[in-house]
Structure 1
Amino acid sequence: MPEGGNKNLRLRDVWRTCNKIRAAIFRVGLNLWDYYRPLDPNKNSLISESKFVSVLAGPLRGPIGLSDQEIGDLADYFRLQDGRILYSQFCEVIHDSVPDFGKNKPLTTGLEWEDPLHVNRLSTTEHRKLDIIITKIAVLINKRKLVLRPYFQDYEIIAKNAGTVTIAHFGRILHFLRIVLAADEFNLLVKRYAKDGCTVNYVAFVKTIDEAQNYMDQHGMLDLGGDLLNQFPGRVITAELPKLPRPEIGKVLPSKVFGKQSVFHPAIKENRDLMPLLEVIQRIQRHILENRIRIHEFFKEFDHLNVGRVTISQFRRGIDALQVSSLGRLYLAEAEINGIITLYKDPNNPDRVCWRTFEDDIDHVFTVKELDKLPNLRIESPPREITELCRRGQSDWQHEEKSLRELCEDSLQKVKHRINERGLILKQFFKEYDKHNHGHVSRTQMRQVLTTSGVLLSTQEVFALEQRYNDDIGFNYVYFIEELESLPVTEPLYFSMLEEKKIINAEKLPAEPTEEETNIVTILAKIKAKIVRERVKVTQFMRPFDTLNKQVISRADFIRGLDQIRCNLTCTEMATIMEVFRAPLRPQFIEYVRFGDAIEEAVATSCLERAPLLIPVQHIPSESCSRNFLNFEERHTLGQAMDKLSVSMNSNLQEIFTDYDKERIGTVTKEQLARALSTRNMLHLISNNEFNVIHKCFGVERGGRLETDYRAFLCALRLLQENKKTLPF
């Protein structure tokens, strides 16, 4: 008997292991022949035990999940007398015993769920509610002259469904048609017309609406506006359900048995108020934000099928792992945890909690789900209500009385002044009482610290500080010290730099053209002066743009070529030149050759071989500009100053200017002019105004600044000195 019992038990174990392998192969889609045939080169259906075990314990251990005991039982069962394993029999047992359901005929033909007009059963109360909903929808459809079927058929053309749509699309169609339903009404419609658990039979729904419309039309229950008439009392279905019989009325049990009665269920008596529960959710969001916790990692281990629901005990364990419990860093009372569980319970299974919904609500502190579908949505991360959420037990300071807030600010300034005056560090006094470094002390300890440090405050001032910094743990001295040591808010330097950049890059209105900018003679004189000084040929910069040698180029190319000469012309001067030298028959082109001849007259006279008696004259560039122009008073002042300097002029004054002029360009700065005159004791002969007039008169623009042409200045002094010698006195 024991031997037979052990044998039966062993056979049952082998059969159970084979069923386990069949289930795994059906789920994953494996073929054992592909693993064992390469190990049998002789094709005799026999392999060694080590090869047989290496397949089940190697690559197939993960997909199938066999233990060592089960693999050993299989090897013992299919082992021959010589110790080898008959793997072909094992593969046939696993693969050839799978039934082929495709050869069988369907047994469900003619059943009610294959009917295109199939609807589900409802209770009597639900059926009455459904009749009211159908009547409301039929009246609304008849009043708007709508046809429901085309809206559902558009989805069927794309999805290729046989008279069904998804629940989400069914709701979207009703919302698009502005058929407003409550949540329980929509759930009742889905319950009535649901098919296959995830779709809605819209054919039966549309047929029911049409039957209701036809019935009301046949019996004349609608007026001309499409509303129900009121002349059918007792026959017309109203929008409100009649009152059901209440057998409990008049039979209330005495209060001594159950105490005071309440309209709420005892299980949710503590969760009637949603405001504390909303505050709990916000505190969890801030805890998740500060510690950068990903909720999904703590609940996915409990949800192996990824359905988004776990048991209540598993939800509690996930909450504890988040350190959101009575033992974690974020303290939650048991009633608050029960409130969260009640809020996220599965409506279809009260023993389960929808952790995925809880995760989505908490993760709103980071971002919004499916943000790619809302490109214009602006989100604030973290939300303001999370950042401004006060600590637990701390009063909302912004809603306190104004007198209390002003008294607290005055107390802070008094404490800050006392600390700065005596050079104290309050943190070390608080640290003596805070042994565990919690950042909090008791109210009595806070008063002792203020007394020890010599900060004398009245009772009202201490009370104001306690109202500001007290929470459920005690006096938050870390927050108190941060505000004492806080620096005044200053505007970043970036803002001033940004404003300067905006002013620099702002669009400038074009200035009105001056007379010099529109005078072609003045403009050409400026260009000729540049050509004479630097000996540049104008046409060499513009000829590369004339590839066909038409002696004309476009306006853009003319501007590019003229910019290479660097004459510093304004836009108005450039436009004046192009207007004068434009081609007669081609307004968008410029005769650059004629322009070059006009400019090069300053260096050489053209066609001189035809006029041999003509004496060419060299163009002398003028150094005058708007910055060195003198009016009548300045010229009079200049004459007086030059007379004073010519009297005491030394012959070696030029050597001093030459020492300052290292590059031998003939100009010196204003400071060097003053230094040279001071060296020869000539600067004290003239006033500051006269010195400025001299610098302006002999000024030459050089490198963006006005320098003095000392050669012209010395020449003028020499002429004045010679003239005074020849004049009779």
Structure 2
Amino acid sequence: MVAAAVDKVEETVRTLCLTKRLRPSEFFIDYDRLRSGYVTDSQFFRCLWMNLGLKFSPQEEQLIKQKYDIKRNGRICWKQFSNLIETSFAATNFKTDPALQKVEPLEFLGTQRTIRPLSPASEKKVEETLRKMVEFYKYHGINLRTCYEDFDFHHIGKITESQFYRAFPGPPDVDEAEITRLVKKYGDPNEPGLVVYLNLHHDLVAVGDNMAAQQLNLNSTCAKTDYIPNEKVEDPSVQQIFDKIRIAVFKHGIRTPEFFKDHDRLRSGIVTENQFLCGLSLAVGKEAQLSRHDMQKIVNFYKTSDGRVQYKEFCDMMENAFNIPDLDKKATLTPVHPKEGSLNRTIPTLSDAEESRLKTVLSMIINQVNERRIMMYQYFKDYDRSCAYTRVITPLQFRRMLHFLTINVTDEDFKLLCRKFIDQATGDVNYPAFVQSIDDKFVGFTIDSPPAVDFSTAIPGTDGGRVTLSETAVKPMYPDLSSVPKCDISEVDMSSLIARVRHHVLTNRLRVIEYFQDFDGLRTGSITKSQFRRALSSLGLSKLGHHDLIDPQYAVLCQYYEDPKAKDKVQWVKFMNDVESVFTQPNLEKVPEHKVPPSEIFRIPKPGTMDWTYASDEHKQLVDETLQRLRERADQRRVLLKPVFQDFDRHNNGHITRQQFRQALTMLELHTTPDEMSALEAKYCNDTGFNYMIFLSELMPQEPLQFMYLERLKGLRKANEGKNLPEIDAKSDLEDLLLKIKTKVVKDRVRVHEWLRDYDKLRSGRMHKISFRRALGLCKFELKESEYALLEDKFASHVPDHVEWVRFSDEVESIFTIKELEKAPLLEVEQFKPPVDWQMNQLSDEDASLCLEALKRLAEKVRQRRMQLYPLFEDFDRVHNGFVGASQFKRVLMELELWSLISEQEANLITERFQVKKGLRHDVDYPAFCDFIYELCKFEWRKP
């Protein structure tokens, strides 16, 4: 009794030290200055209290003193106590296995898993869940402890249940019931609502080590039993052995004489028995899977009386496998071909129990493949990337691809699949055979039925006679798994199904004909049922689309729209007309008075939505009062509700789970009672989740946007009714206008003819005035209304409201050359030179003389000081276009100390003399001003 109590105290200390990763000896040694291994009892218990937080009762302290007070002098041997706590096994005990001496606490945190243990069935389910988690975490490299440490701020190995649910890292096939079972098992009984995730982590590590040990033992067992002969296999006949060799030679293109003739130096066609066995093993031993017993049978068949073997006859038969020698001389003979499938890799036959279990496993995989409509061959083929497609992959690649396709099988079932579909020559997995066994639409290879044409081969016997060997019947390669149970369509409502399809088409604005017409090349209005299913899937009615169309619903559609002339086809045109009635009615032009119903009546709520019209008055009143109270609370706090809900909506479909809805209300401090929460969930929940968008629209309604288009249109019309603004700088003379256009054409290199001819499709040489103005507007001539009128009057056509655009184009393009110049070879053409902009500025005689005098005074000072005018002007010319503003021009003159030489009036005249219009402003052409000053100074060109 005393020993048990002391062991319990030691177990508590050991658990706490292991949890905190502490060594008690490091604390006791500070009190033992002489390193005697003893401290006083007060020092001993003080050290445990201060460092480990352990406060023992007087009874427990007395028990520890009795055990560790060895000398009975009131001093406790702390070294012995520390060795017992820290040491896992005795280093001097060589008779006992250290693994058996190891003492480890059951729980790292010193807690029990639950006050009421789980039932054996629940414990078994938890163990299965842990195994799935271990496989998933090992493949993805996930550490459960790391996933939950961010929530454990105090590093005590515990988190709340909501945090456990929120950060659960998978696997995805663990449902909510299994997670709840884990919470129940690893919940802390002393602190309800907390989960000890650290215990779960260490249990996962223990389960993983156990699985690895079992796998290691299984591999060692398999490695030991691989070479044990199977006594149940019947002794194959000589014919079967020759068939295997013939197929291997034909399939791999083996030249059998190459392996024997090196042993026959005299080319006598005979070798010794050992030489024949060596050559046969090198030639087809691995490819034909020949055992020692099989090769001995062939040796006995060709052995002569002196003990040697006639290899020449064997090679002649193998060289002519599935062929007839000298076939060109025997035109009437037909060589026998190998049966279809016989050249493929064969599949081994397992025991009856294994075949039964294999059929069950394949049935399960077939159901998953059919539900998800997976084309598996392409996934396995991606791993077959060697020199050529070998049609085999390694077992590890086979396992990875099954996991990638989320086809989870147990380890024993996976090994059974590998044994069934193994390639005996390479040891890899024959993946086309596996795919063909689970997909009836995939044909990797076929094999003839048993009553096939027999191909016989004459083999020379030892007595000179002929022995005929017939091929045995071929056993079917795959189990019969083609039977599929029929769907129960009694619970499918056709009207609801069509309404759901119409809602899907209306919401996504889909044209149904685009998804079906490609399958109906002859436009018969009917397609096969498989094509109908594929078209519906493309339309979005599949598991990957917006609406999952299950098999019973598909069967009801096929039955309703079945073609009476062909039972295996569906009238897709009729289906299209019924569905697209949500947009409009066919042949509406024949019934102009028919009123088309609005499209909104075809919109239906999501499945699972409650019909609020049938709700009770108490329920409606409770929801209204709850919304009013939450609305007042939200208005008072001025919070944005939608962003909080959107954070939980990872798929952006306007729905969240009920738990997330409650969390969002808690975060927004919008508290509700359980009855109010149940009422809100009953109104806004459906099969997808909680529709928070409708909830927010009713909780915080917003005013609809006003339709301002008509008012804006009235304002524009009223603005356009006003008088036109006066024209600025409009040319009143036709010659000046043409000069303006020609100058623009020369500077911008505009081909007027290219812009005008596009509006004269008939090449008549004339166009309407509106088109003429539009074309000139594209040329960017920036003409005013009066200028357009001058051009239209000048080049008016005899057709009313038309302009002779060819004459206008010839007039403008005459600046480059003269039309039909080849008819006047002696005519001299002068190149048009556009006038300089600043030279077109005209001043009065008095102003011109005053301006010239001012420029001369400036030039005199520039000449005397040899000033550089360009650099300062270029500093203000940021775009380097040769122009500066009037104020910038004045500032440069001040910097050059030239401003004092002229008056304000003279400065304005100089600015007016060299100003050029650029856009809507007038700038100064400073290169012209500088050149003019340099010219007055008699400077050399560009050398002031």
- Asked if Structure 1 and Structure 2 have the same fold, meaning a TM-score greater than 0.5 normalized by the shorter chain, the answer is no
Higher relative contact order (CA 8 A, sep 6+): 1
Q: TM-score, normalised by structure 1?
A: 0.30
Q: TM-score, normalised by structure 2?
A: 0.24
